[in-house]
Structures are given as structure tokens and as C-alpha cells.
Amino acid sequence: MTVQEDHRSAAVAERIEKRWATISVIIIVVLALLAAVAGIHRSTMPQARVETIDPSRLHLAGEFIESNLGSVLESNGSVTVRAIGQQYSFTPACILVPAQTPITLRATSADVVHGILIQGTNINTMLVPGYVSEQLMRFEKTGERLMPCQEFCSFGHEGMWGKVKVIDKAEFESKAKSGGRLSCVGE
Amino acid sequence: MINTDLPEQIESTAESRVERIVAAGPGGALVLAGIATTIVVALWFAFYLLVFLPRGSLQ
């Protein structure tokens, strides 16, 4: 083996490694740009601010007491849905929302980490005890959609399913007239 | 004494074989890594373009 040969093989290995590193960097940059496109397209956006809450006092006072859970029509025409995830159900287990209306889902967990995702949409967020998850959403068509827990939360996880019922906007408004918090539990 | 240099000679031959192979470039490794990377990136794009974006915006 000569010194020249040694240099040649080292140079080849270095050149190939540099080219492969360049390809890797290009792939990473493209994926980062596509993540930016997803943000601009509004298919997904990180939550704007972190909100904390005491999970041991959810049921006693504050935003997530039982009587405040469900859907409420706000004065600006939008709808706010408040929900809790706990082992092994969502409260309310059936969420009632109007079609073609901006909706804000506010949810948290009373025990361990859970997740909410709504079938056939990009609505997908984790529910972490101690934090309020806020997710914007909008449904164009009426109908029912499944809402499973998407984060393994122990042995009953596979039975933790909720439902979202999207109804006509006018029908929702007439139901909301009587006040209170709306849900479709028991319907 | 006639055989004392033999092991070194064999090693030297093996090393020069390795050198010759490396100097020719890792073509097989590049093909394998290229195919694997292409499959992963193509699947990622398929889900992004055919599932994620068609599901539409959140608001």
C-alpha cells in the first residue's frame, strides 16, 4: 500500500460523506418548509400561549366545573366547547357543535395524559394534566364523527371514545337560546 | 528466517485490497441508503399531500 493510495481512498470516503450530509440537510430543510406551509395553510398551528390549571381542583371551581362543560354560543357568534378527559371517558362524552361556525375547543385532563382527535380532520391535541389545551376548529358538514383518546392512558384506553355531533347552525342557535351548556349526551 | 516477512505481506495485501475497494467508492451502500431514504421520504410526502392537507384548515 502506498501513501498515495491511502489518500485516494480517504478522499473518496470524505467526498461521499459530504454529499450524503448535503442530501440529509436538503431533506431536513424541505420538511421544515412543509411544516411552515402547514402553518400558513392553517392545517396545524401550535397553541399560542400556555395556560395552567390545578388538576386536583377542576371539579370544585373554575372553568372546568361540571356545569360549565359542553358547548356555549358566544356573543360574537362563535362557539366554545369545554371538555375534560379522564380515565376512561370524556365529559361530555358527546360534543354538540354547529356546522360552518368557528369553534374553540378548550380541554384538559383530570388525571393522566390523554389525547383528543376527531375522525377525518386535523383536529388533534394532547390533554395534559395541569395544562389547558386550546384547539380551533370548524366543521363544514353536519354529521357524527368519532373522537377517540389518542394517547395510551392505561388499561381502559381502548374503551375511551367520545363523539362529536355536528348539527345545522340554525338548529344549534335555537337550542342555545335556552342558555346553559349544550351536549348530545343521551341523545 | 525465510518466512518471517510473510504475515506482514498478507496483511499488506488485504489492506491494499480494502484501499482499492474504498477508493472505488461505496456504490452498494449508496444504492441501499438511497432506496431506503427514498421510500421513507416518499411515504411522508404521500401522507402529507394525500391525507394531511386534504383534511383542510382548522378554521
Complex ipTM, two decimals?
0.71
Q: For residue A56, give how far its alpha carbon lies from the nearest alpha carbon of chain B (Å).
A: 31
Greater confidence (B22 vs A119) lies with: A119
Query: Which amino acid, B58?
Result: L
Which residues of chain A have a CB within 8 Å of the CB of B49?
A: none
Residue A4: pLDDT over 70: no
CB contact under 8 A, B22 and A9: yes
Residue spans of the domains in chain A: they are 1-45, 51-176
C-alpha B30/C-alpha B45 separation (Å) is 22
Architecture in CATH of A51-176: Sandwich (2.60)
To the question of pTM greater than 0.90 for the whole model, the response is: no
Residue B14: pLDDT over 90: no
Mean pLDDT of A95-117: 94
Whole-number pLDDT of residue A3: 58
- Mean per-residue pLDDT of chain A: 90
Query: Which three cell numbers, joined as nine digits, stand for B8?
Result: 506482514
Residue showing cell 335555537: A174
Residue B9: pLDDT over 60: no
Whole-number pLDDT of residue A53: 93
C-alpha B29/C-alpha B40 separation (Å) is 17
Q: For residue B43, give how far its alpha carbon lies from the nearest alpha carbon of chain A (Å).
A: 13
CB contact under 8 A, B56 and A135: no
Whole-number pLDDT of residue A105: 94
